[in-house]
A and B are shown apart, each in its own frame.
Chain A
């Protein structure tokens, strides 16, 4: 506690976290810092425990040992300081877009008129104005994830946890999402933790990339791309540093991919 409260440049700190499922060791002695206001990617081959780590930070899974500190407070379960974006969207099929986006606030007991006003604002923010009364099945995959994103933004948590949020949407929508995410990191003063298995995606959107390796899962390397962060979205993919980092990461990961 005493050490952690002083640490203001890190929104989230993971310290010596172990996670076992029975005899299987999913995470071993993992320590990692997540700088405030930045986007950190957890990148690694499948089975490296990146989603497990994210769910432990979210408070959805308990760690076997070690601690997670969010804004100076140890995590014991889900909290109002963190919001989650799900890989499979996790939308209520029987509820309209408006109710889905407002659902996080509904569970917090915010009054209907107030939460719907907030939800409408974020629905417009993610570009879904006019779809408030549609049902999820009437939307495309990309639009569904925009609903999931609006729901996470509307609860106004400081930390946004995203579990492979773009893996279930098509390639073109995905590129648009990645560009929008850069804008989001710049404009919303939030800390993003982003799980992905796409090297290009991680390098494109991240301020910091943690490479996780499997069996037992550990942080092998932390990369902080800096040279192209200020460039416009269209130029990043042609930046030499961007291309070098992508190549280097692939070189270190390829032996772990069967």
Chain B
């Protein structure tokens, strides 16, 4: 089984990258480099160390923003899910945040918080938090009533019921929200570097585009996708470690 899935992964990677290579050789556009050219540029970025200094910059708003979004998002989602009043009060903010055209709002953020780290963290949070909050609150609200009643009947305190029943029951949907939110956070981090001040990976993208060094630009984009995939895999491991029995579904009819 394991060999087969590895084989399929390699096969699909070969097909995608092969198609990229062919499209680059046709060429589809002057601004579309081949896969091999991009990989060569990627190698140069690594050897020269440009990529690492760039990530040292990009990871700051990303890590801070994603951490804030995850903890604050789950906390707020829990609060919203537990109380109808809080739902009424806070939910609309996140619905607006999720649907707002972020690129158009960035100038406002810059006016309020300047061009530094704060604005970039805000962009990451605006991208990442709504889906985390809304997923968490929805999952908390949909905890099977009989499980909560059971906790109550067996004398669980309110915090027992939240920590031992509601959160574990909601965890599959919370983790789905985290996966979506964190992916959006990666997009937000790059977006903030493109729109606010070019630093880090955003700087590589902007700069290489301005000098028509398209292989380097695509190499930088590839690197951020790679990092995101890696991170999501780690998250999945954490979920399986924490709530192993959960992916088997509910047993009550």
A interface residues (Cβ-Cβ under 8 A, vs B): 58-60, 78-80, 82-84, 86-96, 103-104, 106-108, 135-137, 139, 141, 144, 151, 155, 168
Contacts and interface: CB of A to CB of B under 8 A. Distances in A.
B101 interface: no
**B interface: dominant SS:** helix
B154 A93 contact: no
Given A90-B146, A107-B160, A60 B153 contact: yes
A135 B245 contact: yes
Interface of B: 144, 146-147, 149-157, 160, 164-165, 168-169, 171, 243-246, 248-253
Nearest to B147: A90
Contact of B251 (A84, A89, A106, A151): A89
Contact of A93 (B151, B152, B245, B253): B245
Contacts, number: 80
Nearest to A96: B245
A106 to B, nearest CB: 8
A88 B245 contact: no
Nearest to B250: A93
A139 B248 CA distance: 12
26 contacts: A84-B150, A84-B153, A86-B150, A88-B146, A88-B252, A88-B253, A90-B146, A91-B251, A91-B252, A92-B147, A92-B165, A93-B249, A94-B169, A94-B171, A94-B244, A94-B245, A103-B164, A107-B157, A107-B164, A108-B154, A135-B245, A135-B248, A137-B251, A139-B251, A144-B251, A168-B253
B154 A136 contact: no
Contact of B152 (A60, A94, A106): A60
A107 B160 CA distance: 7
B250 A78 contact: no
Nearest to B146: A90
A192 to B, nearest CB: 16
Contacts of A139: 251
Contacts of A168: 252-253
Given A90-B252, A137-B249, A58 B153 contact: yes
Residue among A82, A83, A104 facing the most chain B CB atoms (10 A cut-off): A104
Contacts of A58: 153
B251 to A, nearest CB: 4
Contacts of B144: 90
Contacts of B146: 86-88, 90
A94 B149 CA distance: 17
B251 A136 contact: yes
